[in-house]
Amino acid sequence: MLESTFGKIKIDNIQFFKLNDNTMDTFYSKTRNLPFYLLTLTTMGISGFEKLFSFEIPKWYIEQFSGSIIDFFPNALTIMWVMIMILQISAFLFTLLAIIKKEFRDEVQKNWSQIAFLLTEISFVILGFGQRIIQNYDVAFWLFAYAVLTFLGARAVLKKNYEHSATS
C-alpha cells in the first residue's frame, strides 16, 4: 500500500515490466543465430550491389584476369563478372527472405537459409579459385577460409534443422 495526500492506493494487482532470467534466455534463444544471418546479408549484399550499381567492369578486374584461363573467349571476363554478381545478389535475397521468414529462430524450418548459405559458400569458393588461378595465393587462402567458416557457421545455425528432419 502506498500513502499519498489523497489516501491509500492499492497497487497489488499492477505488474510492472521487468526482465528476468527466463525472458533473457528466451530472447537469446530466439535471436542467437541472427548475427550470422546479418553478416551473410551484408557481405553478399554489399559486394553484389556494388557490382550492380557500378555499371561497368572495373579496370583492375580486367587487368588481373586478362590472359588467364578465365579469359578463354571474347567477353568471358564480363560474363564471369555478371555471374558472380548474380550469385552474390541471389545469396543476399535468399538471406533476406530467410530473415523475413524468421528462419534464424531454432524452431523454424530453414528452407531459404540452406539455399542462402550454399550460394554464399559457392561465391567464396569461385572467388578463391579465381585468385588461385592468377597465383594470388594469400587472397585465395582467405577466400577459401571464408568459405570454410561460412560452411561451419551454416552447419551450426542449421543444426536444429538437421535434427528435426532426422527425427521426422
The whole-number pLDDT of residue 135 equals: 94
The whole-number pLDDT of residue 27 equals: 76
User: Which SS3 state, helix, strand or coil, does residue 4 take?
Assistant: strand
| Spans of the chain, pLDDT less than 70 | 1-25, 161-168
User: Which SS3 state, helix, strand or coil, does residue 131 take?
Assistant: helix
**pLDDT tens per residue, range 48-57:** 999 999 988 9
The whole-number pLDDT of residue 1 equals: 47
Q: With CA atoms as reference, report the closest residue to 87 among 98, 95, 99, 97.
A: 95
The whole-number pLDDT of residue 106 equals: 86
Q: Is the dihedral of CA 112, 39, 42, 133 positive or negative?
A: negative
The whole-number pLDDT of residue 16 equals: 47
The grid cell for 10 is 492499492
Residue extents of the structural domains in the chain: 34-167
Q: With CA atoms as reference, report the closest residue to 101 among 87, 118, 113, 119.
A: 113
The grid cell for 137 is 595465393
The grid cell for 43 is 557481405
Backbone φ, ψ for residue 113 (5° rounding) = -60, -40
The whole-number pLDDT of residue 107 equals: 86
Q: With CA atoms as reference, report the closest residue to 153 among 84, 95, 79.
A: 95
